[in-house]
């Protein structure tokens, strides 16, 4: 379980196909506090740590490795060729009992990929318009929450399958959202509450 508050910007160091896809990700997190089998949200995708290592020589960053299944590839931007060495990723360690819940409850189970339609400056902020897959758009509501590439964000407006979010300067600085551009595929996780409300309505609840 996560909150959508990013705690590190990682970097893909290598990707290889060995049964499932295996990726090595550089991090500033203290790997002494990470266990094999721990869950880490990587651009919003909950992945299990299968190996750990300390940086040395030309590889200054500590790293962890994860394996990515075919199901995960089919649901996320990883399967759209989104991960290659050098790519920056939003990272978040799993929530611990007693941690502050600064964003909203995020499972790390991505529902689909939204496409960035436009990026525009509004004062010191940035307005990003995205297009959700049609089957997910009904779960997105103004002032509701979504997780986009693992970041907890508030929806400003919705028009059909398109919806907008506003990024303050701080968010752009501490996440990968400073890199966003039209055409990018973004991992989208619907708010769990919105999903249950919609399900109840189907049954007349």
Residue pair 114/185 in contact by the 8 Å Cβ criterion = yes
Query: How confident is the prediction along the chain (205 residues), in pLDDT tens digits per residue?
Result: 898 999 999 999 999 987 789 999 999 999 999 999 999 999 999 999 999 998 765 556 899 999 999 999 999 999 887 799 999 999 999 877 656 666 678 889 999 999 999 999 999 999 999 999 999 999 999 999 999 999 999 999 999 999 999 999 999 999 999 999 999 999 999 987 766 666 666 666 5
What's the pLDDT at 203? 64
How far apart CA 190 and CA 107 sit, in angstroms, is 10
What's the pLDDT at 121? 94
What's the pLDDT at 199? 61
- Secondary structure (DSSP) of 123-190: TTEEEEEEE--HHHHTT--TT-EEEETTEEEEEEEEETTEEEEEE-HHHHHHSGGGG--TT-EEEEEE
What's the pLDDT at 103? 66
Q: How far is CA 155 from CA 32, 78, 81, 107, 130, in A?
A: 37, 24, 27, 18, 10
What's the pLDDT at 98? 59
83 alpha-carbon distance from chain centroid: 13
Residue pair 163/155 in contact by the 8 Å Cβ criterion = yes
What's the pLDDT at 27? 95
What's the pLDDT at 80? 82
Domains, the chain: 8-93 (2.40.30.20), 112-202 (2.40.30.20)
Closest listed residue to residue 42, CA positions, set 192, 180, 149, 171: 149
Q: How far is CA 5 from CA 25, 53, 136, 147, 182, in A?
A: 19, 25, 23, 10, 23
What's the pLDDT at 136? 94
pTM: 0.90
What's the pLDDT at 109? 92
The SS3 call for residue 64 is strand
């Amino acid at each position: 379980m996560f909150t959508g508050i990013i705690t590190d910007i990682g970097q893909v160091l290598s990707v290889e196909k060995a049964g499932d896809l295996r990726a090595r990700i550089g991090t500033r997190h203290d790997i002494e506090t990470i266990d094999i089998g721990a869950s880490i949200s990587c651009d919003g995708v909950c992945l299990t740590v299968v190996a750990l290592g300390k940086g040395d020589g030309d590889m200054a960053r500590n790293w962890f490795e994860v394996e990515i299944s075919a199901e995960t590839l089919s649901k996320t931007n990883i399967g759209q060729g989104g991960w290659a060495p050098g790519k920056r990723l939003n990272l978040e360690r799993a929530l611990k009992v007693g941690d502050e819940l600064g964003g909203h409850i995020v499972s790390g189970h991505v529902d689909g990929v939204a496409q960035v339609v436009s990026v525009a400056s509004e004062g010191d902020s940035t307005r990003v318009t995205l297009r959700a897959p049609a089957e997910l758009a009904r779960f997105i509501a103004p002032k509701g929450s979504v997780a986009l590439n693992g970041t907890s964000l508030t929806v400003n407006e919705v028009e059909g399958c398109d919806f907008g979010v506003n990024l303050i300067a701080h968010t752009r600085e501490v996440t990968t959202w400073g890199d966003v551009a039209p055409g990018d595929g973004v991992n989208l996780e619907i708010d769990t509450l919105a999903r249950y409300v919609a399900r109840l309505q189907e049954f007349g609840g």
